[in-house]
Structure 1
């Protein structure tokens, strides 16, 4: 796992910084920027707290707290961007960093072909946004977290596992944004990710199988780990009440990893796939989320992470067939409990939701303020993000989610209509080309479907397709009661690389006639 910032004592109290102090710091930078000739400036003051608790079997391997604190200043001068950052947060340090940002902008302007065009953005004055958590995970005693993880390990070992490691990763982003547009925005963002890996070894052959946790990283507090039977409702409207029972998952995982040892190897061929949200989120992320990033469409990521097959001409045609009529995919930065939920992005734009794919047709992309004019939009969609005060903000993926079906179908209802298929749960390895078109995905658990019924466990399964073909094979989507979030804590992009956290929601969905390969067979 990556480390962020300097290490701090484990017993350090969780605190926040007075917004009034941050406003004073921001005003130093804004006044300095305009006095040096900037026509626009924004300031991000960030305090980033991370905690890792790592265990293996009956031992604690590592417990780490880190903290990173500083200020980043971005300006437009002579029509060009400039950026500088510093951890020297006294008046002199802030003034020097701001002057450097303006100097960089003016130097960049000498190479400019056309000036930066920013979408209009009103100032919001002094506002606050806090993640609607119930229990701050940073205030929970370390012992309680360790005891939970060790009990998870113990449950897996008693269930027959040879090895197990479990991890709890916590994030708190305290972010303050100010700009010459007149915004002073203070935000407190929390994320949590409990996970584990269980390993079972066949002593006779030396072969092994693993089963990872089926948890989703969430934009929640410690309440996510306090599962109660009444909380296990998985609907859009009660998503923020979703809980994860780590102990139950470990017990199930120990039993399932033993079943995987004895599972039948899949026969390659065409199958109808029933994909659980714990698996489908990753396919959405790679085949929908990334190719609808406008900077990727424009080629800005070509050197590092590829381009996109969803070129502007396809959007301009207004009838590009991305998927079947059941495929409705929304971008959203507001969904409670999601990793990407914030009140305002890192350009001070209030967040919202909008359609990317409607009834199978490509309708939009993801934009920030200096991209909006390319699509003829009169405002940004609020997709700007930086992973640290020292990083410049740029276009990052919002939550991108497949909308539930119109009816009340469950996963079982989808399975009943399959003659020959595979039910896939959990995410695992994948590959996808640089245009986000041709791909291959695998999962954690695979169950054979015969004549509408589960017929046993399979292994060595991966499916191959291309994005357009795959989403056009979507034949059914379960209803809103089945809707759940998956997501990534470490979505990488850019040079220098930055990581962001993003969720992808879905209900269980069926895809007909998808090519399945056997990953254990040699060609």
Structure 2
């Protein structure tokens, strides 16, 4: 297939849903445009200095400047055809200031000196207008300037340099394997992001960053013509902060011990789709679960979503303070619980850490969008709530002397605000395998992959499904189940955690499109864990009607 036959923005078809929420979609560009020579750091510094000087001359007491070029590529296929290849670019400057104690923000796609200066002046004017409405001035945590520094995602292969034909051929081979294996139809897609971000501030930082993310995914569907029943299975891939090397797994990346082959740090899309095609057939004939109390063995491909919803979101300080109440909700982890230093969030095995440094993770950066250097810190320690996630104008609320570096904007024309870092469950310090955990279960269910879910606005009461469910009896996996979901509340659930595998099983789950804010922004974040056991969790049958 020749490039000109499928390159473009039209013809999304049924796969259009896969692009919903794809971050920073901008103008359509060609594949060659995506590889054009970028502006060098010296040129960006000159533009940033124009903004900094203009803002200061208009009365700003603090200014930060973000110059961003955001590249996105989506390759989408269905069955034996390409549905779409979309390349897009978004490029411009965002200027944030404090004047008269209040924030102001303005942005522009015009990058000449006069336009940049006018945008900076507009940001100051907005701040001064906002100042008439505030009850107390912004309190910004101290932040030293780093001078001229840079950071890059440590990739081995730049995905944007891989020919589109090679990506198309891979996806079509995945589809072909599924169809030959008996699938009724299949969608397969590959999404890639490159954020070329330059940050400068009146604190004296000039930070150039080059950030890469990749997400291969598919959905296999199989229909039983006799009964009319059908089942689906999504890919078990995790989106990653990596280059195209993520698509090349080898035997040393395999995780052994569970009911299906999984990989650590790499992904074999072809092997996954072959397994998925067999498993959807098994799901059609699998027995429906009997509701009741079960011990759950949760794989990281599933547990990551539970961590995201029941731990990541309720420990965002802006939610705790009610800043997100109108859209994303609030949090049951209120400040009074943190102040006691005794609030029992989970069992002593529950150690949850925020991390902006972990290689391969979606949230890994050198510096956040306020110029704060990335780091790590405990959120839950031995089951006790000890911290939250903060940015510079929140740090004083917790008595912190510095921001934790949780500021992010999904585009140059979006104002940066508090976003989730990687939030992960730490593995067992003792040697413990998945097989060891399964052997300890008398009556349980092993769950793999993310499914539908529901959680209340305070991130307390919830229900989670999955992709694959395996029944465990007397320490043995005895077969597949259907129609499984579990219900609990956050505190009860994490206190029921009684076992977890060691670091050899530790893997990342992630999401490209975590929505928050008004206007809504999407961010990418990872959640690591090893396979964990939760005792006596309430399981429901999702196919049975109530009453």
Is TM more than 0.5 here?
yes
Tell me which residue corresponds to 2:472: 449
- Kept in 1, the 8 Å contact 2:194–2:211? The answer is yes
* Aligned counterpart for 2:386 among listed residues 355, 363, 382: 363
Q: Distance in 2 between matches of 1:338 and 1:223?
A: 14
**How big is the shift at 1:409?**
1.1
Give the whole-Å Cα distance in 2 for the aligned partners of 1:359 and 1:16.
47
Equivalent residue for 1:250, pick from 241, 262, 273: 273
Question: Measured at CA, do residues 468 and 325 of structure 1 come closer, stay the same or move farther in structure 2, by a change above 3 Å?
Answer: same
Pairing 1:271-420 to 2, within 5 Å after superposition: 271-420=294-443
1:480 aligned to 2:491?
no
Gaps of 5+ in 2: 1-18, 257-262
* Cα pair 2:34 2:89 within 8 Å, conserved: no
Residue 237 of structure 1 aligns with which residue?
Answer: none
Aligned position for 1:180: 202
The CA deviation at 1:227 is 1.4
The offset of 1:10, in angstroms, is 2.4
Instruction: Give the gaps of 5 or more residues in structure 1.
Output: 235-239
Q: How far apart, CA to CA, are the structure 1 residues paired with 2:211 and 2:435?
A: 36
Deviations 1:25-82 (A, max 9, x none): 0000000000000000000000000000000111000001000000000000000000
Shift of 1:232: 3.7
Aligned partner of 1:160 in structure 2 is 182
Decide which moves more: 205-214 or 36-45: 205-214
- From 117, 124, 129, the counterpart of 1:102: 124
Aligned residue in 2 for 1:123:
145
Deviation, 1:233, is 6.8
Q: Is the 1:195–1:215 Cα contact (8 Å) retained in structure 2?
A: yes
1:205 counterpart (220, 227, 230): 227
Structure 1 CA distance for aligned equivalents of residues 266 and 397 of structure 2: 41
How far apart are residue 384 of structure 1 and its match?
0.1
CA distance in 2, matches of 1:39, 1:317: 36
CA contact 1:343–1:350 (8 Å) conserved in 2: yes
When the two structures are aligned, how many residues end up with a matched partner? 518
Contact 1:233 1:242 in 2 (8 A): no
Distance 1:144 1:202 in 2: 33
Alignment of 1:57-76 (within 5 A): 57-76=79-98
Q: Deviations over 1:107-159 (max 9, x none)?
A: 00001110000000000000000000000000000010000000000111111
2:106 maps to which of 84, 96, 100: 84
Question: By how many angstroms is 1:13 displaced?
Answer: 4.8
Please tell me the root mean square deviation across aligned C-alpha atoms, in Å: 1.1
SS of equivalent residue, structure 2 residue 373: coil
TM-superposition CA deviations, 1:354-377 (whole Å, max 9, x none): 000000000000000000000000
Residue deviations 1:440-467 (CA, integer Å, cap 9, x gap)? 0000000000000001000000000000
Q: Deviations over 1:218-255 (max 9, x none)?
A: 00000000112234479xxxxx9821000000000000
Corresponding residue to 1:269 among 264, 269, 292: 292
**Are 1:510 and 2:533 an aligned pair?**
yes
Alignment match, 2:522 = 499
Contact 2:264 2:507 in 1 (8 A): no
How many angstroms apart in 2 are the aligned matches of 1:213 and 1:79? 49
For 1:111 and 1:9, the matched residues in 2 are separated by: 46
SS in 1 for 2:451: coil
Instruction: Give the SS at the match of 1:444.
Output: strand
Q: Which residue of 1 aligns with 2:13?
A: none
Answer whether contact 1:43 1:73 (CA < 8 A) is retained.
yes
